[in-house]
Structure 1
Amino acid sequence: MKILYGVCGEGFGHSSRALVLADYLEKKGHEVIILTHGQAYNVLKGKFKCFKVKGLHLIFEKSVLKKRKTVNYNLRNFTRNFYKWKNFDRLMKKFNPDLCISDMEPIVPVLRNWYNKPLICFDNQHRLTNLELRVPKQYATDFFLAKSVVETFVKRADYFVITSFSKNQIKKRFRKNTFVVSPPIRGDVRKIKPNATYKGKILVYLTKKDRQRIKILKSIKEAFAVYGYNKDRKQGNIEFRTREHFLEDLKDCKAIISTAGFTLMSEAIYLKKPYFALPLKGQFEQTMNALLLKEAEFGEYSEDLTKKQTENFLKNLEKYKGKLKEYKLNPDELFKVFDKVLMSI
């Protein structure tokens, strides 16, 4: 089967999923071309056939999503794809895919409509549309906005395969074509034995430099390995680390403090590591991840980190570890579902 696979290029979560799924599909004998952009293109281009596009980009300032700047940027940048539409037509006619897959990538769903191809929607964002969720009132506006964005990307598909670590029910109208699976875990992480050790530092992963959060960590009697500053340097109880040390610290760390991205959170749950989530303001998907994490008692979250919150989280590590040890995450579940879905297309 020939498969055109659209992958969102923002961050590394979507490309991490694609590394797992595309590798599996190729090993099963399928031919895959990945349509993507940004960070995902750089991750995937050496491993798979890739078709580069102008993608959507989220603009953050001081860990806050700037909605107007994001819209203005994408109106200028993303629409440039339409000036090169002959390239897409050439791709579809030459490759002639039997199936399209979209992971929060908006061009592939358009192509599938124009060329009448079946579509599988594969992501974690469609939790917002297809699953029963309890959303606190203070997040209602952000929830409806995020839900509208997700529906704009893909509202109709032949199948939805949704990755989730929570046990939310599928809405009745979606039950015939929606599957909820455990998050896929990349190979390097799967090689690490869950709860191997908790003897290392607290792993801290920040997507943006943040003096206030570093100041808070320095005031706490604990050792921290901090990523996101792209340097190797020790300052008191904080050791700034570069990415080549990340898997080692992930294996040994006592706990994780990080933004509320779905991929790292899933890897932490797989490895039974307590997690303190710091959702980016204005990005409801991260808020939802943090809410579900807290509900499952796998950790805590805060939009504005304080010393007291951090110390309370560290005092409760044993409670979180107990809940994590009870939870079973099956990363192979995804493959069984895709085998079933592909047989029906």
Structure 2
Amino acid sequence: MARILYTINGEGLGHATRSRYLIEQLQQRHTISLAAGFRAYHYYKKLGLPVFRIYCSRILYRGPSVRVLDTLVRNVFTFLLYGWISLISLWIYALRFKPDIIISDYEQLGLLVAKMMSIPSINVDNQSTITRCTYALPRQYALRRNIVALANYNMTWPATYFCATSFIPFPVKPEYKHNTFVVPILLRKEILGKKPLPGKHILVYQTSHTFDMIAPLLKCIPERFIVYPSPRESIDGNLHFKRFSETAFVKDLRASKAVITNGGFSLISEALYLHKPVYSVPVRRQYEQIFNAIQVQRAGYGEHHDTLTVASLKSFLRNAPKYERNLRRFTKAGNEELLKIIDALIKKSVR
């Protein structure tokens, strides 16, 4: 049995929901303490789990675009203001807990604390495929990739081992093979093992507050759309706006014809697992989302578009049966494989 400090990035809910499976499995044979920031902190508090609150960097949006400079300035300023205090607080918390190893879901402070305490650490994320794997990339994204690679390095450089989840089996670069493992997608338990239901509607999930921009376009399509997450329940013609509920969302995802979303890794993974074609409109200037959308289109699982248009959406829906056929070969989740790798790394690292 090992003592594990598990730290979770709080930007978005994807980190929190996918970590829950690993945490619940590891708790059966190890002692675990949680630390999380922003939305991940509130997620685990709502579940009634004890969790230590830490600083979390944020991504700032303006409509469908990332405010790159504002995000950089805000994160540098807030870290200098109180992020370093959170680092020291987490270090003191860890000294009291005495972990044998720290596992991080793309969370920087936990990895830094592991370095400060000279103990091993494991970073679990999907972002490491961008920097530690080999893949083809359109030229126009080369600069953005390099910028994101620098940001990813800044977030994860102290890690001893890297476990990268991916819906495409990318090969690891030779220089990283000694400490990097690529595994299929990690699914939350609410999705794992579930079967898709016959499609009745199209599920729309937007995270950057673009409802007012897309609603008029969706009204031009003779389909029923269920739109998440809305601040209130309402029906407007063929659009059904819903507040976020995990149970209702999973049900609507399983019974959808297709999914319209940004480029978030977690929802794309769940949609592909349930054989739902994906129409991906990444947040502008958010390279990680652009990367995910490119891979979805290359694999024949859906389409990548810079903006949502009536013409491209109609074309996507005509091609959806083809994408659904391609998705029949997409059946594997990486939950058990990842758990075996982490167990082996814990056994190797903790004496």
| TM-score bucket of the superposed structures, by smaller chain | over 0.9
The alpha-carbon deviation at position 158 of structure 1 amounts to 2.3
Structure 2 counterpart of 1:312, from 312, 315, 322:
315
C-alpha distance in structure 2 between counterparts of 1:4 and 1:85, whole Å = 14
Structure 2 counterpart of 1:253, from 231, 252, 256:
256
Q: Indicate the residue corresponding to 2:337 in structure 1.
A: 333
Q: Does 1:221 align with 2:222?
A: yes
Structure 1 residues 252, 89: CA separation in 2 closer, same or farther (over 3 Å shift)? closer
Structure 1 residues 177, 190: CA separation in 2 closer, same or farther (over 3 Å shift)? same
User: Secondary structure at the residue paired with 1:254?
Assistant: strand
Q: Indicate the residue corresponding to 1:121 in structure 2.
A: 123
Q: Is this contact kept in 2: 1:32–1:49, CA < 8 A?
A: no
C-alpha distance in structure 1 between counterparts of 2:270 and 2:206, whole Å = 16
Structure 1 residues 128, 226: CA separation in 2 closer, same or farther (over 3 Å shift)? same
Structure 1 residues 62, 86: CA separation in 2 closer, same or farther (over 3 Å shift)? closer
Amino acid at match of 2:314: E
TM-score (norm 1): 0.95
Q: Indicate the residue corresponding to 1:42 in structure 2.
A: 42
C-alpha distance in structure 2 between counterparts of 1:243 and 1:84, whole Å = 30
The alpha-carbon deviation at position 86 of structure 1 amounts to 5.0
Query: Please, which moves more after superposition, 180-189 or 8-17?
Result: 180-189
C-alpha distance in structure 1 between counterparts of 2:347 and 2:340, whole Å = 11
Q: Is this contact kept in 1: 2:7–2:103, CA < 8 A?
A: yes
Q: Is this contact kept in 1: 2:124–2:163, CA < 8 A?
A: yes
C-alpha distance in structure 2 between counterparts of 1:322 and 1:83, whole Å = 52
Q: Deviations over 1:10-50 (max 9, x none)?
A: 001100121111111101x2111222111110111235331
User: Secondary structure at the residue paired with 1:77?
Assistant: helix
The alpha-carbon deviation at position 121 of structure 1 amounts to 1.2
Q: Indicate the residue corresponding to 1:343 in structure 2.
A: 347
Q: Is this contact kept in 1: 2:108–2:156, CA < 8 A?
A: yes
Q: Indicate the residue corresponding to 2:151 in structure 1.
A: 149
C-alpha distance in structure 2 between counterparts of 1:72 and 1:173, whole Å = 33
User: How large is the Cα RMSD of the aligned pairs?
Assistant: 1.5
Q: Indicate the residue corresponding to 1:187 in structure 2.
A: 189
Question: Which structure 2 residue ranges, 5 or more long, are not aligned?
Answer: none
Structure 2 counterpart of 1:286, from 289, 301, 322:
289
Q: Indicate the residue corresponding to 1:242 in structure 2.
A: 243
Q: Indicate the residue corresponding to 1:302 in structure 2.
A: 305
Q: Is this contact kept in 1: 2:36–2:54, CA < 8 A?
A: yes
Count, aligned residues: 342
C-alpha distance in structure 1 between counterparts of 2:327 and 2:43, whole Å = 30
The alpha-carbon deviation at position 328 of structure 1 amounts to 2.6
Q: Is this contact kept in 2: 1:229–1:240, CA < 8 A?
A: yes
C-alpha distance in structure 1 between counterparts of 2:159 and 2:91, whole Å = 21
Q: Indicate the residue corresponding to 2:172 in structure 1.
A: 170
Q: Indicate the residue corresponding to 2:78 in structure 1.
A: 77
Q: Indicate the residue corresponding to 1:31 in structure 2.
A: 31
Query: Please, which moves more after superposition, 322-331 or 75-84?
Result: 75-84
Structure 1 residues 85, 264: CA separation in 2 closer, same or farther (over 3 Å shift)? closer
C-alpha distance in structure 2 between counterparts of 1:229 and 1:104, whole Å = 27
User: Secondary structure at the residue paired with 1:255?
Assistant: strand
Structure 1 residues 307, 157: CA separation in 2 closer, same or farther (over 3 Å shift)? same
C-alpha distance in structure 1 between counterparts of 2:150 and 2:210, whole Å = 31
C-alpha distance in structure 2 between counterparts of 1:43 and 1:171, whole Å = 35
User: Secondary structure at the residue paired with 2:12?
Assistant: coil
User: Secondary structure at the residue paired with 1:202?
Assistant: strand
C-alpha distance in structure 1 between counterparts of 2:127 and 2:274, whole Å = 23
User: Secondary structure at the residue paired with 2:344?
Assistant: helix
Residue correspondence of structure 1 range 34-113 to structure 2 within 5 A: 34-45=34-45, 46-79=47-80, 80-83=82-85, 86-113=88-115
The alpha-carbon deviation at position 242 of structure 1 amounts to 2.1
User: Secondary structure at the residue paired with 2:164?
Assistant: strand
Amino acid at match of 1:293: V
Structure 1 residues 169, 105: CA separation in 2 closer, same or farther (over 3 Å shift)? same
Residue correspondence of structure 1 range 132-143 to structure 2 within 5 A: 132-143=134-145
Q: Indicate the residue corresponding to 2:8 in structure 1.
A: 7
C-alpha distance in structure 2 between counterparts of 1:66 and 1:313, whole Å = 29
The alpha-carbon deviation at position 181 of structure 1 amounts to 1.0
Q: Is this contact kept in 1: 2:279–2:304, CA < 8 A?
A: yes
Structure 1 counterpart of 2:324, from 321, 324, 328:
321
Question: Which structure 1 residue ranges, 5 or more long, are not aligned?
Answer: none
TM-score (norm 2): 0.93
